C-alpha cells in the first residue's frame, strides 16, 4: 500500500508487500522489495536498496546507494525470515549497509532514533544501535555488537563481534575495538585502550559537575588505582545510591562476555 501523498520516481521499482506512509519520497532507480514498511516523512534518495522484512520509522533521510535489510554476511544464515527495525529521524548516508539478523541470535538488527551513520558505515547482523549515536565514515560493526546511547565511533574504526560500546563513550579514529568499552570512556588505538572520560561530551549533554566528578572517580577505580575488576566494582558500588548514573558501569560489567578494555 502506497499512500497517495507519497512521491515515487517513475524509475523506482517497488514490489512485494510494501507499505509506504504519507509524505514519503522515493528517488530514481531505488529498489524496494519484500515485507517492507516505511514511515511518514522519510526521504529515500536515488539508487537505494531496501529488502527483506524491514521496518523504517518516520522522518529518516536515506542517501544514495544505501542497502538496508539485505541478507546477513554470516555463513550460518540459511534464508530464514529475519528482520531490520529502524526508528525515527536517522540520517543514513551514502553506501551504508544494514543487514538483517540471524535466527542464531535475536533475529533482528535494530537501529534506534536520531542517529548519524556516515558514509560506508556497516552494521552487521543482530546489532543493536541505540539512540543519538554518531558513526564516522567507514566505521564498522561486526555481528552481535551493541552501541549504547550517545556513543561516538569515529571513522575507520571496526568493532569486534559481541562487543559493547558503552553510553556516552568516544572511540577515536582508526581504532580497533576487540573488548567492551565502558560508558563515558574515551578510547583509541589498536587494540583500543582507555584515555580518560569523555568530559566535553558529558558537559554538552547536561551532566552536572558532581556527576562528572563521580564518573571520574569510577574511572580511576577501574583504571588508575591498581584495583582488580572486583575491587573496582566494589568502589563504584559504594557511590551508586548518590550517583545512579554510575549504574552503567556495573551493568556493562555484568553482561560483558569479552571483558573490558584495560
Task: Give me the active site residues, please.
Answer: 125-126, 143
CA distance 149 to 135: 12
Peptide bond into 191 cis (omega under 30): yes
Strands 122-123 and 140-141: parallel
- State the DSSP H helix or E strand holding residue 85, giving kind and residue range, or none if neither: strand 83-86
By DSSP bridging, strand 25-26 and strand 7-8 are parallel
Please name the residue ranges forming H helices in the chain. Answer: 199-204, 209-223, 229-238, 247-255
Separation between Cα atoms, residue 159 and residue 92, nearest integer Å: 19
Which three cell numbers, joined as nine digits, stand for 116? 548519524
Amino acid at each position: 500500500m502506497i499512500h497517495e501523498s507519497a512521491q515515487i520516481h517513475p524509475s523506482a521499482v517497488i514490489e512485494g508487500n510494501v507499505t509506504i506512509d504519507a509524505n514519503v519520497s522515493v528517488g530514481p532507480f531505488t529498489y524496494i522489495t519484500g515485507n517492507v514498511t516505511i514511515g511518514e516523512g522519510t526521504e529515500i534518495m536515488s539508487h537505494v536498496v531496501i529488502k527483506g522484512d524491514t521496518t523504517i520509522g518516520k522522518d529518516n533521510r536515506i542517501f544514495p546507494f544505501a542497502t538496508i535489510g539485505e541478507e546477513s554476511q554470516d555463513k550460518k544464515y540459511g534464508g530464514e525470515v529475519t528482520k531490520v527495525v529502524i526508528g525515527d529521524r536517522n540520517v543514513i548516508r551514502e553506501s551504508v549497509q544494514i543487514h538483517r539478523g540471524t535466527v542464531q541470535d535475536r533475529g533482528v538488527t535494530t537501529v534506534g532514533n536520531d542517529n548519524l551513520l556516515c558514509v560506508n558505515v556497516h552494521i552487521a547482523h543482530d546489532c543493536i544501535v541505540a539512540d543519538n549515536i554518531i558513526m564516522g565514515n567507514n566505521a564498522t560493526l561486526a555481528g552481535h555488537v551493541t552501541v549504547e546511547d550517545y556513543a561516538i565511533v569515529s571513522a575507520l574504526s571496526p568493532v569486534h563481534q559481541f562487543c559493547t560500546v558503552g553510553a556516552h563513550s568516544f572511540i577515536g579514529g582508526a581504532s580497533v575495538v576487540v573488548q567492551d568499552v565502558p560508558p563515558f570512556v574515551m578510547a583509541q588505538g589498536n587494540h583500543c585502550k582507555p584515555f580518560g572520560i569523555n568530559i566535553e561530551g558529558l558537559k554538552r549533554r547536561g551532566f552536572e559537575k558532581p556527576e562528572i566528578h563521580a564518573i571520574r572517580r569510577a574511572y580511576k577505580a577501574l583504571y588508575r588505582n591498581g584495583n582488580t575488576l572486583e575491587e573496582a566494582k566494589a568502589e563504584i558500588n559504594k557511590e551508586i545510591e548518590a550517583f545512579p548514573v554510575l549504574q552503567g558501569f556495573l551493568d556493562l560489567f555484568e553482561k560483558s562476555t569479552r571483558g573490558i578494555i584495560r
